[in-house]
């Protein structure tokens, strides 16, 4: 699954004791495993190798250019949602023709920069956006390719904030409108509208919604082709589940076992946009216990990482397995799960220093006994961890550390107080 393992009661990232990293860079800190990133990417690549497939890793999940660089070297393209992400991909040496650009609010400058790159496909979210792309392409003498994002009205049963494939979503158009879009713009002569994009949302835990969405989308493609439109590719987006708890999400091979047979013989290129399924298990956030406190019947473990460092638990109610970095044999975790059911573990709220009642990493959670100064690991923190962090309460952003075998490198330095105000000086 990943390369974070306990050895003799101590947590290792690949071949490095995470306590050694804490001594070098302090806490809190994000620690990444290069081998885990590459293993998860390879599993997706191999699962869909029977088809003409382009894997476009979703930069928004984890965007450090040092990580993007080795993913590009391993053959990955990229899914982007902003001009800044395009810039990151270019700085990482990406093949820009393997970039797809999504997002409902692309600015004119972002569109022009992407055409000049040039990227592979624009994922179009509305008729007005397509009209604007046609206008800009004509003005700049470009002929970009585009995929219309279609909402198949399928619910992957995830958090409401991460569900994007319903009719009511701000993203894309429904299937009925998709036909009208092709009727009006499919042969505009400037932008090659030649693909369909589908993205159900994030954190999918079953294969069935993707099968249902693909069935509806293939029927649409057949109809569009019958009307004389050329559809060369289908982009099935991302959102494939990651194991925040052990064995709770299908493997890439399980998704592919259902999807690949449906696409064989369809004369379609396949584009996939995995993010969390590649990045999530590739990192931990390491934090330190500051204080222990009792409040009524509750026990609090107060740590030096807060919701500004990892906002997913208070924002989405998401689960991250949390366990000490050094444990006795009887507290060794067998699996990542909410209730470890180990004699001697305690039920605690793990909270941070932010001045907000919503500042927690876990509530009512089993945890092996800890003391002030102990290190605690927050697992499966690679996706939407650092990328959604902030300077709230004027807290410096964390360092990012990349482990490769027996060595580790700081790939982003911890911010200083001077960094906090560097852009504010008059």
Would you state the structure tokens that stand for residue 282, as one six-digit string? 């590739």
Cβ atoms within 10 Å, residue 190: 17
Rounded distance, CA 199 to CA 144, Å?
21
Buried b (16+ CB within 10 A) or exposed e, 56-70: bbbbbbbbbbbbbbb
Give me the residues paired with residue 153 across strands. Answer: none
DSSP 8-class letter at 127:
H
Q: By the 8 A CB rule, do 176 and 235 touch? A: no
Binding residues for substrate, by number, are 312, 316, 356, 384
Rounded distance, CA 408 to CA 21, Å?
8
Q: By the 8 A CB rule, do 118 and 96 touch? A: yes
Q: By the 8 A CB rule, do 255 and 262 touch? A: no
Rounded distance, CA 258 to CA 240, Å?
13
Rounded distance, CA 78 to CA 71, Å?
9
In order of 153, 181, 265, 402, the CA distances from 213 in angstroms are: 8, 19, 18, 37
Would you state the structure tokens that stand for residue 382, as one six-digit string? 């690679």
- Give every CB contact of residue 296 below 8 A, 6+ residues apart in sequence: none
Binding residues, by number, are 239, 312, 316, 356, 384
Q: By the 8 A CB rule, do 197 and 149 touch? A: yes
Rounded distance, CA 289 to CA 274, Å?
34
**Residue of 276, 162, 145, 167 whose CA lies nearest to 213:** 167
Residue 355 annotated among the catalytic residues of the structure: yes
In three state form, how does the secondary structure of 12-35 look?
Answer: EECCEEHHHHHHHHCCCEEEEEHH
Rounded distance, CA 303 to CA 170, Å?
37
Binding residues for pyridoxal 5'-phosphate, by number, are 239, 384
Catalytic residue among 56, 62, 194, 355: 355
- Give every CB contact of residue 359 below 8 A, 6+ residues apart in sequence: 306, 307, 314, 351, 352, 353
* Active-site residue list: 355
């Amino acid at each position: 699954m990943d390369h974070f393992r306990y050895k003799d009661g101590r947590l290792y990232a690949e071949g490095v004791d995470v306590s050694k990293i804490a001594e070098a860079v302090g806490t809190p800190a994000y620690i990444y495993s290069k081998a885990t990133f590459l293993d998860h990417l390879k599993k997706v690549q191999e699962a869909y190798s029977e088809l003409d497939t382009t894997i476009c890793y979703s930069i928004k999940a984890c965007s450090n250019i040092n990580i993007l660089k080795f993913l590009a070297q391993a053959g990955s393209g990229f899914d982007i949602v902003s001009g800044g992400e395009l810039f990151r991909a270019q700085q990482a040496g990406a093949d820009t023709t393997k970039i797809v650009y999504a997002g409902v609010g692309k600015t004119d400058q972002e569109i022009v920069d992407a055409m000049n790159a040039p990227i592979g496909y624009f994922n179009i979210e509305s008729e007005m956006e397509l009209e604007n792309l046609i206008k800009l392409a004509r003005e700049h003498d470009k002929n970009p390719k585009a995929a219309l994002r279609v909402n198949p009205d399928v619910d992957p049963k995830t958090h409401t904030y991460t569900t994007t494939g319903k009719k009511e979503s701000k993203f894309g158009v429904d299937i009925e409108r998709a036909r009208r879009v092709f009727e009006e713009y499919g042969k505009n002569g400037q932008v090659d509208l030649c693909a369909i994009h589908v993205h159900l949302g994030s954190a999918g835990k079953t294969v069935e919604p993707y099968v249902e969405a693909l069935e509806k989308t293939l029927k649409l493609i057949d109809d569009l082709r019958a009307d004389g439109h050329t559809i060369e590719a289908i982009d099935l987006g991302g959102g494939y589940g990651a194991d925040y708890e052990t064995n709770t999400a299908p493997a890439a091979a399980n998704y592919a076992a259902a999807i690949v047979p449906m696409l064989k013989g369809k004369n379609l290129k396949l584009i996939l946009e995995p993010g969390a399924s590649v990045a999530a298990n590739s990192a931990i956030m390491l934090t330190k216990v500051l204080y222990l406190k009792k409040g009524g019947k509750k026990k609090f473990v107060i740590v030096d990482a807060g919701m500004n460092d990892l906002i997913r638990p208070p924002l989405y109610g998401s689960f991250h397995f949390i366990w000490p970095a050094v444990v006795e044999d009887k507290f060794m975790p067998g699996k990542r799960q909410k209730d470890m059911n180990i004699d001697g573990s305690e039920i605690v709220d793990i909270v941070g220093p932010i001045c907000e009642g919503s500042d927690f990493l876990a509530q009512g959670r089993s945890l092996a006994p800890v003391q002030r100064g102990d290190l605690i690991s927050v697992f499966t923190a690679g996706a939407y961890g650092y990328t959604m962090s902030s300077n709230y309460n004027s807290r410096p952003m964390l360092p990012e550390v990349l482990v490769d075998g027996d060595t580790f490198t700081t790939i982003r330095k911890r911010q200083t107080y001077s960094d906090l105000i560097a852009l504010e000086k008059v």
